[in-house]
Amino acid sequence: MWRCGVSSLKPNCYFHCKRNYLSLSKSNLTKHPITKYSNYSSLTMTTITESDVGILCFISNLPGFRGILKQRYSDFIVNEVDTEGNVVHLTSLDAPPEEGETKISDQLNKNYASEIEKFRSLACEIDVDQLEAFINQITSGSEEDISPIVLSPDSDKSHRTAMHNFFKENLRFLVTDTVDGPDSSSKCIRVRLNSGNKNKGRNSNKRKRGDRPYDSRGSSHWPAHLGNFLRFHLFKENKDTQEALGLIGKMLGIQPRSFGFAGTKDKRSVSTQRVTVFKQYASRLAALNDRLIGIKVGDFCYVKDDLLLGQLLGNRFTIVLRGVVADSEDTIQASAESLGRHGFINYFGLQRFGSGSIPTHHIGATLLRGEWKAAASTILDPREGERNIISKAREYYKQTGDIDGTLKQLPRHLVAERAMLQCLKKSPGNYLQALKAIPRTLRMMYVHSYQSYLWNHAASVRVQKYGSSEVVLGDLVYSKGDDAEKTEVVPPEHEDNSLEDAYDCGQLDEISGKDLPLEKNNLVKVITASDISTGNYNIEDVVLPMTGSRIIYPMNEVADVYRDMAKKDGISLTGSVHNIKEFSIISMTGSYRRVFQKPIDFRWDLLSYTDGNLALSETDIDKIAKTKPVNPVKEENPTNGTEGEEPFNHLEQLESFEDEKKFSTDDNEVEVSREAEPPQVHSPPDLNSLEPQKALKLAFTLPASCYATMAIRELLKTSTSVAFHKTLNQ
């Protein structure tokens, strides 16, 4: 039975910082600057800790307790909340009937003698015979793989165009593309079955190993009554969003840019989100469900517009903390109720700063200083903690400078590195151009990471100096409608993004919307003595700026954090040493972020279990399986959970966060951490024991851009790094 997050505790007026963290007073801000390196390639460091990026304080002074985060992927369930406030679930795997496909597939049942005769006027006899045999194989319902046919070499482009048009006009169940001929001066037309059609050969859509992906640019005969985009719900387990869509795109033979989505979801989780794809039939995607591993698609419908980054209100989380050990159940209850009542400090989580041994905000600082060669070297050079195949490729390039050889070794998911190397091959020594070759979404991540680094430290100073219970003189707040004070008008954070290419999504998180209309302006004001006396504002209204040219800073000591830390890193917040706008803070608008965040529709329950291999939450696939058998997701042994959640409508509560709406990754966790963890008071339970163990199950919604791991951190008072929680499993 869920318990609501309502507490009889008095409002907590205290804050609590880890005792092993350094104080953040102005006098010792010099202890944590990002050192300015003349050559970043010589930099070696271990993975960052929470204190390195300013995650220092807690709201409550309650004791923490032991709990294992993400022991199973189903212990961390994420469901997107759409712009109407509806929680997105996968409820059906079936494709609706589609007239467009029916009309095309009906062609398989007719006689093609007249079309063959028309083709005879364009092609040689060999090609005519080949095409006729190909059509007969298709219409016969052969169980064998139906391989493409390649027509005779043709060096006449206008004739090839006429051939392509013939197939488009007369044989719509076939598609063509152009491939290289036997010599450099000729090309050949390849003909294949349109894989969007269902035919009787069960393996006809399989592409043989080694065959090149087909060129797919959408259908010129797309039915007028259907929207140009197919929207579907993507369910995935232990896959990040880009990885899942990359696999689906590869099976469909389409480019990653064909997909649209509102935000990425955590890899180490079970998640459901909306996705759009350009001019693809639902039956094509539904047919992939039997072949996809760790992924399911369903709830198909056709829509006019594609999804853009940031078009969501937030995410609904269902989280299970296993192996819970505390002084008493009262400790757990007090902590859970405090989280529901007071919330948590809205830090950018560790995921914001990258999963490698070189934090992304270090690279951002280098870019802001205009050190192009150093930034390029930092991205390309060997680093600690990477897989052997990547380390070898990086070391090979550092030792030899052989770009072609490095590209052969470097995994394709390292998009930034590959883009830079390809550019350096064309323009040796042009490091700025190489950096600009990185997809914009990815390269801007570095600078935004540095902004987040400053924000986190400022938030810690705000809590350390002024507490977490009330507004103080000089605070910044979102202005309320009746406030007559003059306000500063600043648009929402708006980091332009593109989906030019696939990128390593594990390095990305909560990037703001792409080409979204500015629905309303944020009105931000400085708290005055009059505001404090009237009590118009409370602690939940307090915001801090993300640095930029159109923001204002608090009129108290918190403002010094931004200037002092940036100065120590050799960065000016009011000028630039170079004229490259995208790598300059003064060319960015800036934005504001709430310092404190309460979980919405917060529920919790304390469970008992004996088998650590059994799921304690129901996934969407579990719910579908109750009504209709489905092939299980193969990444994890599926078990129907004992607890479920009904969808909530969060529109009313989330609307107030529209001004902070961002593209969220909801905690793509850092894979490796060498953080010096605080000593653990409690001994871990034997996970294989049949003795009853406790689990704390939480369900809550957060606005886009908020990190669920920061809520868990407030609850447990321990590190949120993946490596730390892995040690609890040992």
**Each residue's pLDDT tens digit, 665-675:** 444 333 333 33
Q: Burial-class residue 282 by CB neighbours within 10 Å (0-12, 13-18, 19+).
A: buried
Backbone angles phi, psi at 467, to 5 degrees: 80, -170
**Each residue's pLDDT tens digit, 323-335:** 999 999 999 999 9
Mean pLDDT of the chain: 78
| Residues in a beta bridge with 362 | none
For residue 168, what pLDDT is reported?
A: 86
- Of 364 and 519, the structure prediction assigns the larger pLDDT to 364
- Of 481 and 200, the structure prediction assigns the larger pLDDT to 481
Q: How confident is the model at residue 482 (pLDDT cuts 50, 70, 90)?
A: low
Percent of the chain residues past pLDDT 70, beyond the cut: 72
- Kindly state the helix (H) or strand (E) to which residue 342 belongs, with its residue range: helix 329-342
Q: Mean per-residue pLDDT for 633-638?
A: 44
- Report the range of poorest mean pLDDT among 167-176, 510-519, 596-605, 661-670: 510-519
- Of 495 and 465, the structure prediction assigns the larger pLDDT to 465
Q: Mean per-residue pLDDT for 517-544?
A: 82
pLDDT over threshold 50, residue 136: yes
For residue 500, what pLDDT is reported?
A: 30
For residue 392, what pLDDT is reported?
A: 94
Q: Residues with Cβ < 8 Å from 539, sequence gap 6 or more?
A: 468, 469, 470, 471, 596
Domains of the chain, start order: 50-76+318-346+692-729 (no CATH), 111-193 (3.30.1370), 221-312 (3.30.70.3160), 352-438 (1.10.1510.30), 444-483+518-594 (3.30.2350.20)
pLDDT over threshold 80, residue 84: yes
Q: Report which DSSP code applies to 452.
A: H
Q: Burial-class residue 688 by CB neighbours within 10 Å (0-12, 13-18, 19+).
A: exposed
For residue 569, what pLDDT is reported?
A: 94
Q: Mean per-residue pLDDT for 39-58?
A: 70
- Per the residue annotation, which of 127, 154, 266, 509 is the catalytic one? 266
Q: Mean per-residue pLDDT for 243-261?
A: 89
**Each residue's pLDDT tens digit, 215-250:** 344 455 788 788 899 999 999 999 888 889 989 998
**Each residue's pLDDT tens digit, 660-699:** 433 334 443 333 333 333 333 344 555 555 789 999 999 9
Percent of the chain residues past pLDDT 90, beyond the cut: 53
Q: Are strands 314-325 and 66-69 parallel, antiparallel or unpaired?
A: antiparallel
For residue 401, what pLDDT is reported?
A: 93
For residue 300, what pLDDT is reported?
A: 96
For residue 516, what pLDDT is reported?
A: 33
- Report the range of poorest mean pLDDT among 198-207, 556-565, 596-605: 198-207
- Of 480 and 595, the structure prediction assigns the larger pLDDT to 595
* Calpha distance 159→120 (Å, rounded): 14
Q: Mean per-residue pLDDT for 439-459?
A: 92
Q: With left for phi above 0 and alpha for psi between -120 and 50, is residue 601 left, alpha or beta?
A: left
* Calpha distance 442→449 (Å, rounded): 11
For residue 504, what pLDDT is reported?
A: 34
Q: How confident is the model at residue 169 (pLDDT cuts 50, 70, 90)?
A: confident
* Calpha distance 172→164 (Å, rounded): 11
- Report the range of poorest mean pLDDT among 103-117, 477-491, 634-648: 634-648
Six-digit token pair at 466? 């002024």
Work out the angle at residue 414's Cα, subtended by the Cα atoms of residues 411 and 417, and round it to the nearest 5 degrees. Answer: 110
- Report the range of poorest mean pLDDT among 44-48, 63-67, 569-573: 44-48
Q: Sheet holding 174-180: strands in order across?
A: 149-150, 187-193, 174-180
For residue 355, what pLDDT is reported?
A: 66
pLDDT over threshold 90, residue 35: no
The answer to whether the CB of 196 falls within 8 A of the CB of 173 is no
* Calpha distance 250→270 (Å, rounded): 22
pLDDT over threshold 60, residue 418: yes
For residue 498, what pLDDT is reported?
A: 32
Q: How confident is the model at residue 722 (pLDDT cuts 50, 70, 90)?
A: low
> Catalytic site residue 266?
yes
**Each residue's pLDDT tens digit, 186-204:** 899 999 887 554 443 333 3
